[in-house]
Amino acid sequence: MKDKRMTLKEAVSKYTWDGCTLNIGSICAREPMAVAHEIIRQGRKNITFVTDTTSDPAELLVAADCFSRIEAAYIWIGVVGQGYNIRRAVEEGIPHHIEIEPYSNYTAGLRLMAGAMGVPFLPTKSLLGSDIITHNPKIKVIDDPYGSGPVALVPAANPDTTFIHVQRSDMAGNCQIWGMLGNDDYAARAAKNVVITCEEIVPTGEIRKIPNMTVIPEYVVSAVVELPFGCHPLSVTGCYWMDNPFRQEFIKASRTRDGILAWMDEWVYGVEDHKQYLDKVGRDRLAKLQELEQDNCMIPEIICRTREGM
Amino acid sequence: MSKYAEDYTISEMMAAVCSLQIKNDDVAFVGVGIPLMAGAVAAATHAPEVIIVYEGGGVGAKSRRMPWTISDTPTTDNALAATAMHRVFGDQQRGFITVGIIGGAEIDKYGNLNTTTIFGENGTYHHPKVRLPGSGGANDIASSARRTVIVMRLEKGKFVNKVDFITSPGFLSGPGAREKAGLLGDGPSAVVTDRGLFKFDQETKEMYLEAIYPGMNVEQIKELIDWELKVSPQLYVMDPPTVEQITVMRTLDPMGTVLGRKSLRGEIEPFDVYYNSLKKSYQSRTITL
C-alpha cells in the first residue's frame, strides 16, 4: 500500500506552479476553501482555472490575483451574494483583467469526461443557437455524420492539477464520496495530478467494505491530505453544514477592493495554516455546524452481513 | 378562514405561481433562487410525487431543510439517488427531464435569456459594462428539458428587443429556429414575473401576457416592456398564494435566504441566531420516508 499522505502546504507547493492549469472539484458542497487559502499564501500567479461551476474559492482566488484566465460555466456567489471580485476583474481589470471562456455546466463536464476518457472532444445537443458558441472559438458545430442534424463539439480538458475534497480516503487515495458528485469522477481522471483532501483518512479495509462507493481509485491520485473542515464555510454532506454568516462577512468585505484585501489579511495571510484558521473560527461554532448537518444527514456505518459458519 | 394568504411578499407570490407550473408527474430540474423554492413548495403541496433533480446530482431528495443552491448538502438528504452532474444532464439530453425552471437577467420576446454579460455602450464580451454569472446549467436546461419555465422580475430595460448575449435559447429568431439549430427540447412554456404570468403563442412563438397578479395593471406592465406586448383576450387576475403555500415557504426558509428578504439587503445574522433559527426550522418538520 502506497502512502501518499502529505501536508496541504507540501501538496500545494508540489502540485501547483505559476502558469499552471488548475481545477478544484465539486460545487458548493465539498469545495475546499482551505486549498484556495493555501494557493493564495504561496502566491501562485497566472493560473488558468478550468471548472464547471464554482463559488467562494474562485471568488477569493480572483481577488488574490492568482488567475489570468477562466474556462467555466458559472463564476459567482449565488443566493447569498454576488461575484463582486470576478466583476471587478472583468469589468475594471482589478487586480488584473481576466478572460472567461464560456461553457455550460453539462458541457464543462463533457470536457472533463473527454479528458478522462482520452478522447479529444465530445458531441452534445447543448449550446446550439446560443452565444456561448459565438464567443468561444474552441466550440465547433458540425452536422452529425449519422444524420441527427447539428451537434456542438466541446474540446477535452486535461488540467495540470485537480484538488478534490472527499469525506474519506485511504492513504493511497481510494476515495469515497457521499452526496452529489458534481463532475468529480471525471475531473479526477482528466487531470495530470490529483490531490485529494479529505475529512478523514480511513483504513483500506473500510473502503473495501463498500467498494461501490469508491468514486476515485488510487491509481489516479498523486497525494492525500487529511483536512478536517477543509471546506468551511461551505458544507460537506454528512459532516457539516454551511456557515452563512461567515460567508456573508466575506461577501460584504468583497464589495470593495480595500474590504477584501483587509479580509484576506485577517483570514488568509493572518493565519499560518488551516488548523490556525479553524481555531480562529472557533471549535464551538464548528461543532454547531456539524450538528446542523448531522441532524439531517449522516454517513451510514457500514456493517457487513456475515453468513453463519463463516 | 380563507384559503388564501392575506400577508405575503411578491417573491412569495412568484414562488407560488411558479410552483403551479410543476405537475405531479413531472421530473423537474430547478435552478437557484425562486425556482428552488417553487420545487419545494410543489413537492410539499399539490405535487407530492414530483421528482426534483438538482444539477449537482441529487435526485428525489426528501429534506427537512431548504437547499440554497443546486448542489449543497440538502439536495441529497433522504434522496432516491446521489449521482453526478454529467449523469443528470445526460438524463436531460436523453429526454427524461420534463420541466426545467431557470432564472434570467435579460429576456427578449422569444424567451431567449441572458445571464452572461451586459455589454453597455462600446462594451465587448471580454470588456463588458456588467459581468454576470454565466450559464451554469441554464443553457443545458433551456436546450434539452422538454419544457422550460423562466422566472424573472419585470423591470424596465430587462424585457428587451434583443438580448446582448443568448446564454439560454428560447425560440431564438422565431418559429422553426430551435428545430433548425438542432435543439431537442420544446422551449419555454411560461415566464413567471413579479407582476404577471406570460406564455408563448403557439404559432408566432412570441411572449404574451396571460394573467396578472392582484392589484397589477396591464398598462403599467406594457410600459416596462420594450416590444409591443400582446395580451391574451382571456386575460385574468391570478389568485394570491394560499395559506398552505406561504406556511411551507416560511418554515423552509425562516431567514429569507432563498426568497431574498434579508440577503438582498446585505444583513448578516449573528451565528447564534442563524444556528437557532435553522435548528427550530428542522425540528418543526417531520419527514415520512
Domains annotated for chain B, with CATH where assigned, are 10-283 (3.40.1080.10)
Cell of A297: 444527514
Q: Which of chain B's residues have a Cβ under 8 Å away from the Cβ of A26?
A: 71
A147, part of any domain: yes
Measured on CA atoms in the order A196, A198, A201, A203, is the torsion positive or negative?
negative
Domain identity same for A210 and A94: yes
Do A76 and B143 make contact, defined as CB atoms within 8 angstroms? no
Do A27 and B182 make contact, defined as CB atoms within 8 angstroms? no
Do B133 and A249 make contact, defined as CB atoms within 8 angstroms? no
Pair B146, B87: CB distance under 8 Å: no
By three-state DSSP, how is residue B122 classified? coil
Interface of A with B in 231-260 (CB under 8 A): 235-238, 241-246, 248-249, 252
pLDDT of residue A299: 93
Interface of B with A in 185-214 (CB under 8 A): none
Question: pTM above 0.90?
Answer: yes
Cell of A46: 497566472
pLDDT of residue B266: 63
Do B131 and A100 make contact, defined as CB atoms within 8 angstroms? yes
Do A73 and B135 make contact, defined as CB atoms within 8 angstroms? yes
Is pLDDT above 90 for B289?
no
Catalytic status, residue B244: no
Do A28 and B72 make contact, defined as CB atoms within 8 angstroms? yes
Angle at alpha carbon of residue A86, lines to A83 and A91, rounded to 5°: 115
Q: Is B11 on the interface with A (CB under 8 A)?
A: no
Interface of A with B in 181-220 (CB under 8 A): 181-186
Domain identity same for A71 and A128: no
Do B85 and A180 make contact, defined as CB atoms within 8 angstroms? yes
Q: Which of chain B's residues have a Cβ under 8 Å away from the Cβ of A127?
A: 139, 143
Q: Which of chain A's residues have a Cβ under 8 Å away from the Cβ of B268?
A: 245, 248-249, 252
| Inter-chain contacts counted by CB atoms under 8 A, chains A and B | 246
Cell of B36: 428552488
A3, part of any domain: no
Do A76 and B133 make contact, defined as CB atoms within 8 angstroms? yes
Do B86 and A183 make contact, defined as CB atoms within 8 angstroms? yes
> How far A31 CA lies from chain B's nearest CA (Å)?
10
Domain identity same for A143 and A245: no
Task: Give the ipTM of the model, two decimals please.
Answer: 0.97
Q: Per-residue pLDDT tens for B36-87?
A: 999 999 999 999 999 999 999 999 999 999 999 999 999 999 999 999 999 9
Q: Which of chain A's residues have a Cβ under 8 Å away from the Cβ of B131?
A: 83, 86-87, 90-91, 100
User: Which residue among B143, B184, B263 sits closest to A79, beta carbon to beta carbon?
Assistant: B263
Domain identity same for A28 and A164: yes
Do B73 and A29 make contact, defined as CB atoms within 8 angstroms? yes
Pair B110, B166: CB distance under 8 Å: no
Domain identity same for A238 and A144: no
Measured CA to CA, the distance from residue A141 to residue A70 in angstroms comes to 22
Do A297 and B278 make contact, defined as CB atoms within 8 angstroms? no
- DSSP class per residue in B194-243: SSEEEEE-TTT--EEEEEE-TT--HHHHHHTBSS--EEEEEEEEPPPPBH
Pair A198, A227: CB distance under 8 Å: yes
Domain identity same for A222 and A279: yes
Per-residue pLDDT, averaged over B155-176, amounts to 98
> How far A65 CA lies from chain B's nearest CA (Å)?
18
Question: What CATH number did the domain enclosing A29 receive?
Answer: 3.40.1080.10
A130, part of any domain: yes
Domain identity same for A132 and A176: no
Q: How many domains does chain A have?
A: 2
Interface of B with A in 254-273 (CB under 8 A): 257-258, 263, 266, 268-271
pLDDT of residue B268: 83
Interface of B with A in 154-183 (CB under 8 A): 165-169, 172, 177-178, 181-183
A183, part of any domain: yes
> How far A183 CA lies from chain B's nearest CA (Å)?
6
User: Which domain range does residue A80 map to?
Assistant: 8-103+158-294
Q: Per-residue pLDDT tens for A62-105?
A: 999 999 999 999 999 977 889 999 999 999 999 999 999 999 99
- DSSP class per residue in B243-265: HHHHHHHHHH-TT-TTTTTTGGG
A115, part of any domain: no
User: Which residue among B131, B166, B275 sits closest to A130, beta carbon to beta carbon?
Assistant: B166
A310, part of any domain: no
Do A242 and B72 make contact, defined as CB atoms within 8 angstroms? yes
Residue with cell 449537482: B56
Q: What is the 3-state secondary structure (H, E, C) of B76-89?
A: HCCCCEECEHHHHH
In 3D space, the residue among A287, A298, A206 whose CA is nearest the CA of residue A243 turns out to be A287
Q: Which of chain A's residues have a Cβ under 8 Å away from the Cβ of B78?
A: 297
Tell me the longest C-alpha to C-alpha distance in chain B: 57
Q: Per-residue pLDDT tens for B88-131?
A: 999 999 999 999 999 999 999 999 999 999 999 999 999 999 99
Classify residue A301 by its DSSP letter: P
Closest CA in chain B for residue A114: B86
Q: Which of B6, B12, B49, B55 is catalytic?
A: B55
Mark which of A155, A176, A197 sits at the end of a domain: A155
Domain identity same for A225 and A131: no
pLDDT of residue A310: 55
Which ranges of chain A does DSSP label H, i.e. alpha helix?
A: 8-15, 33-41, 56-63, 84-87, 105-117, 131-134, 184-190, 204-209, 244-254, 257-264, 274-281, 283-294
Cell of A73: 460555466
> How far B72 CA lies from chain A's nearest CA (Å)?
5
A169, part of any domain: yes
User: Which residue among A129, A241, A249 sits closest to B183, beta carbon to beta carbon?
Assistant: A129
Q: Which of chain A's residues have a Cβ under 8 Å away from the Cβ of B66?
A: none
> How far B83 CA lies from chain A's nearest CA (Å)?
5
Q: Which segments of chain A have a pLDDT < 50?
A: none
Measured CA to CA, the distance from residue A82 to residue A247 in angstroms comes to 11
Domain identity same for A261 and A143: no
Is pLDDT above 80 for B262?
no
pLDDT of residue A307: 72
> How far A224 CA lies from chain B's nearest CA (Å)?
22
Q: pLDDT band at B265, cuts 50/70/90?
A: low
User: Which residue among A81, A151, A180 sits closest to B182, beta carbon to beta carbon?
Assistant: A151
Domain identity same for A67 and A136: no
Domain identity same for A150 and A163: no
Domain identity same for A143 and A175: no
pLDDT of residue A81: 84
A300, part of any domain: no
Do A74 and B136 make contact, defined as CB atoms within 8 angstroms? yes
Per-residue buried b or exposed e for B100-127, using 16+ beta carbons within 10 Å of the residue's own CB: bbbbbbbbbbbbbbbbbbbeeeeeebeb
